[in-house]
Structure 1
Amino acid sequence: MSALVSILDDEPAIRSMLADALAEAGFRTMTFGRATEFEAALRRTVPDVCLVDLGLPDRDGLSLVHRLALEKGATVIIISGRAQVQDRVTGLELGADDYIIKPFDPAEVVARIRARLRTQARPQSHGDLARFNGWTAHFDRYALVDEQGAETPFSHAEGAVLRLFLESPKRLISRAHMQESLGGGAGESFDRAMDVRISRLRTKLREDPKNPRLIKTIYGAGYIFLGDVTWE
């Protein structure tokens, strides 16, 4: 069955344009003009990808993105007219997988969605539970658990970066390899997204931002994860 994409945007013309482009590309779609309708549908079906506009008439789009990323484990792509860098950073910090600025070419949206789905479809070389340095990462429920049993949720996007690190400990992971493995827009927007997600992971792992023990930045080259990892 083809992937299901939910489109949440209060502009009928944009909903129609995206639905037509996605249908032509072979996707199933559901469209919504209000967050309340969208959230009601989520109780019945969780789509493969959610396209979410931030300027909604009945709900703050950013809070909805945060909930989707943490509770549903859905791939979330923000589509917004807010082009300021801080808006993009905030959206990515709250767990969005990608951020597309209006006006856009529908073909770009289709390409970004396909890239995300290709990443998800790649066979995982390990299971859904990893232990490292007193932490347990549960990728089936998007949670980090410390030695005392306290849980910290992480988003779908943060989980993809964490899994990449845990599957290649003590090896340099370049930005180019991250882009190839994780998909998304290339260039400055991708680099910014990675910076945000790695910063969030360091915070959740209670790292000293000035001297992180686990996720080390190798300036001009990439990152190295220094933990000892076992998979179950």
Structure 2
Amino acid sequence: MTSTTPDLVLLVEDDRRLAALTREYLEGHGLAVVHVADGRRGLEEALSGRYEAVLLDLMLPGKDGLEVCRELRARSDVPVIVLTARGEEADRVLGLELGADDYLAKPFSPRELLARIRAVVRRARGRAGPAASTVRVGGLVIDPAARRVTLDGREIALTGYEFALLDALARRAGRILSREQLMELAGGSAEEAFDRSVDVHVSRLRQKLGDDPKRPRLIKTVRGAGYLLAAEGE
């Protein structure tokens, strides 16, 4: 990260020992970290607009982390990384469905967490890759410089990961992209493409674009192969 002041990250975690260790590591690598230990205060802080990213535990006092994620995403597009001791796929998928950009199961490597934070912040700032031109596919217009998406003139609010995913599909409209390719193009890890995370993000994109999941006209599923964004006229 190239800013002269440290990026500010919110850590919502009730395990104070884990929070202290995580904070020490992240601050030792150039971030500034604010720690809160309960869900209600965590939501208030996250909505303040001060933070580059929110690290959110699921099992919290005051307000459950999933509820925090749901309420936060309804009012803010700040990047959210869910930190959870719930290792089951269903819990990870639920977090993504509620709007989290990424997740990390406990116990996690602080180094991996740092890499995930940097990735979601880059995507949110529109710096996940080289500067790119505006792309148009039918009524869909994606402007990377302004990090703005419109469909038939209507602006669509997307998280950083959703924007990166849609941009990757749109620049290759009409081409089938596997889950592994989509993860890599959107700035994630291809190793994670074997779980349902890509499917969940695509489902959220369809919902925001008003695409019928049973008969999608924009983002189409190619069974056993991946996804494609329909080229104009398809």
Query: Which TM-score bucket, shorter chain as reference?
Result: 0.7 to 0.9
Q: Deviations over 1:9-35 (max 9, x none)?
A: 011111101101111221111111123
**2:37 alignment partner in structure 1:** 33
Q: Does 1:74 align with 2:81?
A: no
5+ residue gaps, structure 1, are none
Give identity over the alignment, percent. 36
2:230 to 222, 226, 231: 226
Q: Deviations over 1:191-225 (max 9, x none)?
A: 41110111222234343434422212234443221
**2:161 alignment partner in structure 1:** 157
Q: Which has the higher contact order (CA 8 A, sep 6+)?
A: 1
2:88 to 71, 77, 84: 84
Q: Is the 8 A contact 1:69 1:75 kept in 2?
A: no
2: distance between equivalents of 1:178 and 1:114?
19
SS at match of 2:82: strand
With the length of structure 2 as denominator, give the TM-score of the two structures: 0.79
SS at match of 1:5: strand
Letter in structure 2 aligned against 1:125: A
Q: Does 1:100 align with 2:100?
A: no
Q: Is the 8 A contact 1:9 1:33 kept in 2?
A: yes
Letter in structure 1 aligned against 2:100: A
Q: Number of residues paired by the alignment?
A: 225
Q: Deviations over 1:53-82 (max 9, x none)?
A: 011111121122123334221111000111
Q: CA RMSD in A?
A: 3.1
With the length of structure 1 as denominator, give the TM-score of the two structures: 0.79
2: distance between equivalents of 1:124 and 1:68?
29
Distance 1:142 1:93, change over 3 A: farther
5+ residue gaps, structure 2, are none
Distance 1:36 1:192, change over 3 A: same
